[in-house]
Amino acid sequence: MHLIRQKKTILIIAGLFLIILFIFVSRSGKDTSMVQKQQDTEAYTPQFLKLPISMVLDNFKDARPLSGIENASIIYEVPVEGDITRFLGIYNQESLPDKIGPIRSARPYFVEWAEEYGALFVHVGGSPKGLDTLRQSQYIPYSINEMSSHRIYFWRDGQRSMPHNTYTSAQLIVNVIEQKTLISEPRSDFKSWSFKSESRHPTLEYTSDEIEPSQLPRLSQILKIDYREPVIWQYREVENVYVRHQNGEVFVGENNSEVHAKNIVIQITDIVPIDSLDRRTIRTTGAGNALIFQQGIVIRGTWIRQDQSARTIFYDENGKEIEFVLGNIWINIVSPDHRILY
């Protein structure tokens, strides 16, 4: 009997130990997850300490799912030929993934936006005007073109059809920077946007004395952009992110994870077809209207870029510069003819 009681006591102690261990591991895992989430947010925040990297990314149906788009700090989504969109991803060196692509060809407006950051420009060929703009740029420190001697910094995926199969990686980009002895920092006159923590909600930043109630930021849970392949952003309050959908499906990366954005900007500008191939000129300087979506609300505002050497700055209706929530920013470029529903 004594031996049986002793065994029962041992089993009880062992059971208690396992319960305590389980609770400890669970809490540790939760804390680690929170720390990782904070680190990820900081990594993708567009405050560049090193040379920014800009890459032209595909968005044709045969290119999906994309690799590495979720690592970009800033994404410009732009309607190119046929109103199919293409992306310009702006990356921090610290958050470059092991696989990025498919990489596509340059257009002049991609170069002009990359100039704002003094970013390395990664592409596969380009339109005549795009390549000409790149050659004449005073603010792009270096361009890496797969359709040249730079082919060694890319690879082609044999499982995908051309031209939707060209990729690069963090290590290959670092190799370029080191081998070409490029200055590893952004433009000396680079102006960072303003940022705030998630705890500061836009609707709480106004008092009744400052603004009329009718002008308060309005709630918006869903945003639809009427590109040729419609894009929908749906706000998920629990995580304070916007989830991207395209053609009625959740937009995912190659690892099958949802593509999210902390901030979404609708930048309205002039988009004009210029030839039989439906190539376009897109105005990247001057001023225009804008909508800024963050934390489940929409702020009506404007954008201003004084000239090619300047940074695009976004303002609310009162002329106050927009403060972005820490995290990535997705800028959807549209013309006045595109329908925006929210």
Of 268, 323, 236, 284, nearest to 88 by C-alpha is 284
Residue 277 lies in a domain: yes
Task: Give the pLDDT confidence score for residue 215 in this predicted structure.
Answer: 57
Last residue of a domain, one of 149, 179, 209: 179
96 and 217 in a common domain: no
Residue 291 lies in a domain: yes
205 and 123 in a common domain: no
Burial class (CB in 10 A: 0-12, 13-18, 19+), 125: middle
Kindly give the confidence (pLDDT) of every residue in the chain, 342 residues in length, as a single tens digit, with 9 standing for 90 and above: 444 444 444 444 444 444 444 433 344 443 434 334 444 555 566 778 899 999 999 999 999 999 999 999 999 999 999 999 999 999 999 899 999 999 999 999 999 999 999 999 999 999 999 999 999 999 999 999 999 999 999 999 999 999 999 999 999 999 999 999 998 888 889 999 999 988 777 665 654 455 555 555 677 899 999 999 999 999 999 999 999 999 999 999 998 999 999 999 999 999 999 999 999 999 999 999 999 999 999 999 999 999 999 999 999 999 999 999 999 999 999 999 999 999
Residue 17 lies in a domain: no
Last residue of a domain, one of 150, 179, 208: 179
Burial class (CB in 10 A: 0-12, 13-18, 19+), 318: exposed
Residue 324 lies in a domain: yes
pLDDT in tens, 250-267: 999 998 999 999 999 999
pLDDT in tens, 280-312: 999 999 999 999 999 999 999 999 999 999 999
205 and 175 in a common domain: no
Q: CATH number, domain at 284?
A: 3.50.90.10
Q: How many CA atoms lie within 13 A of 178 on its CB side?
A: 8
Task: Give the pLDDT confidence score for residue 204 in this predicted structure.
Answer: 59
Range of the domain at 261: 194-341
245 and 166 in a common domain: no
Task: Give the pLDDT confidence score for residue 25 in this predicted structure.
Answer: 38
Could you give the CA distance from residue 204 to residue 218 in angstroms, rounded to a whole number? 12
Domains in the chain: how many in total? 2
Give the predicted TM-score (pTM) of the model.
Answer: 0.85
238 and 153 in a common domain: no
Could you give the CA distance from residue 298 to residue 216 in angstroms, rounded to a whole number? 9
138 and 215 in a common domain: no
